[in-house]
Structure 1
Amino acid sequence: MKQILVYGDSLSWGIVPDTRQRFEFHQRWPGRLEQLINQDSPRVRIIEDCLNGRRTVLDDPFKPGRNGTDGLQQRIEINTPLELIIIMLGNNDFQSPHIFTAAEAAQGVASLVQTIRKAPIEPGMHIPRILLLCPPPIIQPKGVIADKFRGAEVRWTGFNRALKKIAAETDCDFFDTGTVISASKIDGIHLDLEQHQQLALSIHPIIQGILNC
């Protein structure tokens, strides 16, 4: 059975917009993707490693362990062998305590890619392919997260283009989720149930192509 690691934040963890609740596994996009791939026979296991508030290379000033590089190589070792790693990160780099530009957030993702490729995996095990998913553009933040993401929609502008450039430079696959889904109108950041389902449907053929299954 082939294994895919999803390395993300609250968008992939499946937080219900403007709540502290979580969509169930089959409702959030990694779970739905696993269902779609395995609808004929069990061939792929999706491993979720998604942490609310995770940045690319930045520390959360109030909560520990939100720097995406923290323990990343060990996570690769733990879950090896992996066929594919899907990274969807970047939105939390635009939280109000930080001053990252879109280009700097994309460079943060590039640092994660390099960290993954230097992981000390067991001899003979191959380095997995990496798919970079750009989250949909942040729209005006609302609700309980409004202050935390104040002005994020402005700083996010151009992140998709910057991340696509990073993907080309680092030889990663790339998909701009903003071409098929949008952020929830409820809070401007996270994904509604329909968006989770649509994202899984949209990337399903891409994953099949990568895995040749």
Structure 2
Amino acid sequence: MKHILCYGDSNTWGYNSETDARFPFCERWTGRLAAELAPDCRIIEEGLCGRTTAYELPLEPGRNGFAYYPTALSSADPLDLVVLMLGTNDRRKQLIVSPEESALALERYIQFTRTPVHWSGRQTPRLLLVSPPEIDPAIAENEFAFYYDENSVAHSRRLKTVYRRLAEQYGCAFLDAAAHCGPGADCVHLDAAGHRALAQALAIQVRQII
């Protein structure tokens, strides 16, 4: 059996903007991916609302994704594949982080993952970089305008370019989530249809990798 760690933010955690709760596992893209790949693969879901690539959020402790990443790797070891989908929370107005800085942060993930001696790994897993769904410009009209503005939207659209370049540089697999799904009514988070579409696209990609 192959073991796959899915490391991300609220779209990996499964935040449901319509209920302010969490989608059931069977409806989240991680759960759907598990069903698609069963019984040959085990999905290890590691999502957290507000998680950034490597940056601290004011008044939201524990959201620096890289700070927890070594623990997640060690806990899930041995791993065959790590799926990384981060970057949306880097777009928050409070951070003012560029897409290139998000890519630099992800580069640290790649280098760290490929040096298992640093995290007590038994083997070196493959990596699949996923550029997250783009933020919808209509966000200016809802409550999430507190966190995101027009620059956030523009930068979210550039992530696929810099992430693809990074994946090519390091020989990682890559998927542009925005080519398969978009956010729901709140302009940030996937709805049920988005989770389904992302899982289907990832299932095809993962089968090619492992």
Q: What stretches of structure 1 of length at least 5 have no aligned partner?
A: none
Deviation at 1:150, TM superposition (A): 2.5
8 Å CA contact retained: 1:28, 1:197: yes
Q: Following superposition of structure 1 onto structure 2, how do residues 140-155 of structure 1 map, counting pairs within 5 Å?
A: 140=137, 141=139, 142-151=141-150, 152-155=152-155
Q: Following superposition of structure 1 onto structure 2, how do residues 164-175 of structure 1 map, counting pairs within 5 Å?
A: 164-175=164-175
Q: Which residue identity is paired with 2:97?
A: F
Residue 104 of structure 2: aligned partner: 107
Normalising by structure 1, we get a TM-score of: 0.91
Q: How far apart in 2 are the matches of 1:77 and 1:191?
A: 29
Distance 1:15 1:173, change over 3 A: same
Residue 183 of structure 1: aligned partner: 183
Q: Is residue 2:81 matched to residue 1:84? A: yes
Deviation at 1:18, TM superposition (A): 5.3
Q: Deviations over 1:1-41 (max 9, x none)?
A: 22100000001111112542110001010100100111xxx
Residue 23 of structure 1: aligned partner: 23
8 Å CA contact retained: 2:116, 2:123: no
Deviation at 1:182, TM superposition (A): 1.4
Q: How far apart in 2 are the matches of 1:83 and 1:174?
A: 16
Q: Is residue 2:206 matched to residue 1:202? A: no
Normalising by structure 2, we get a TM-score of: 0.92
8 Å CA contact retained: 1:101, 1:156: no
- CA RMSD in angstroms comes to 1.6
Identity %: 33
**Quick check: which one's helix share is greater?**
2
4+ aligned runs moved over 6 Å, structure 1:
none
